[in-house]
Chain A
Amino acid sequence: MLARRNPQLNSHGELIHLLSIEGLPRAILTQILDTAGTFLSVNDRDVKKVPLLRGKSVFNLFFENSTRTRTTFEIAAKRLSADVINLDIAKSSASKGESLLDTIANLSAMHADMFVVRHSESGAPYLIARHCAPHVHVVNAGDGRHAHPTQGLLDMYTIRHYKKSFHELTVAIVGDIVHSRVARSDIHALTTLGVPEIRAVGPKTLVPGDLREMGVRVCHDMREGVKDADVIIMLRLQNERMSGAMLPSAGEYFKSYGLTEDMLALAKPDAIVMHPGPINRGVEIDSRVADGSHSVILPQVTFGIAVRMAVMSILAGNDA
Chain B
Amino acid sequence: MKILIRNGRVVDPASGRDEIADVAVAAGRIVAIGRVPPDFTPERTLLADGCVVAPGLVDLAARLKEPGPGALESELAAAAAGGVTSLVCPPDMDPPLDEPGLVDMLKFRARKLSRCRLFPLGALTHRLAGVELTEMIELTEAGCVGFSQAEYPVKDNLTLMRAMQYASTRGYAVWLRPQDPSLSAGVAASGAVATRLGLSGVPVVSETIALHTILELVRQTSARVHLCRLSSAAGVELVRRAKAEGLPVTADVSINSLHLTDVDIGYFNADMRLTPPLRQGKDRDALRAGLADGTIDALVSDHTPVGNDDKMLPFGEAVPGATGLELLLSLALKWGTESKLSLAQALARVTSEPVRVLGEALGSLGQSAGRLVEGGVADICVFDSEAEWQVTPDALRSQGKHTPFDATSSGTRMPGRVRHTLVAGTLAYSAELSKSSDATSA
Contacts and interface: CB of A to CB of B under 8 A. Distances in A.
Most buried by B among A119, A146, A181: A146
B195 A123 contact: no
Given A145-B198, A178-B195, A121 B411 contact: no
Interface in B315-331: 315-317
A197 interface: no
Contact of B315 (A1, A121, A211): A121
Interface string A205-228: 000101101100000000000000
Interface string A5-20: 0110000000000000
A127 B312 contact: yes
A145 B267 CA distance: 15
Nearest to B194: A210
A145 B190 CA distance: 14
Residue from A4, A119, A123, A210 whose CB has the most chain B CB atoms within 10 Å: A123
A146 B268 CA distance: 11
B338 interface: no
A2 B192 CA distance: 20
B170 interface: no
Interface string B351-384: 0000000000000000000000000000000000
B197 A146 contact: yes
B342 interface: no
B196 interface: yes
A122 B195 contact: no
Contacts of A101: 312
A178 B197 CA distance: 11
A145 B187 CA distance: 13
Nearest to B266: A4
Nearest to B187: A122
A240 to B, nearest CB: 14
B16 interface: no
B309 A99 contact: yes
B314 interface: yes
A147 interface: yes
A12 B264 CA distance: 25
A123 B260 CA distance: 20
B168 to A, nearest CB: 36
A124 interface: yes
A211 B199 CA distance: 13
A147 B195 CA distance: 11
B191 A121 contact: no
20 contacts: A1-B411, A2-B409, A7-B267, A99-B313, A122-B314, A122-B315, A122-B316, A123-B315, A123-B316, A131-B312, A143-B198, A144-B199, A144-B314, A145-B199, A145-B200, A178-B195, A184-B198, A208-B195, A210-B195, A211-B195
Interface of B: 190-192, 195-200, 260, 264, 266-268, 270, 309, 312-317, 409-412
- Name the 4 nearest CB pairs between A and B, nearest first: A123-B268, A145-B198, A146-B198, A121-B314
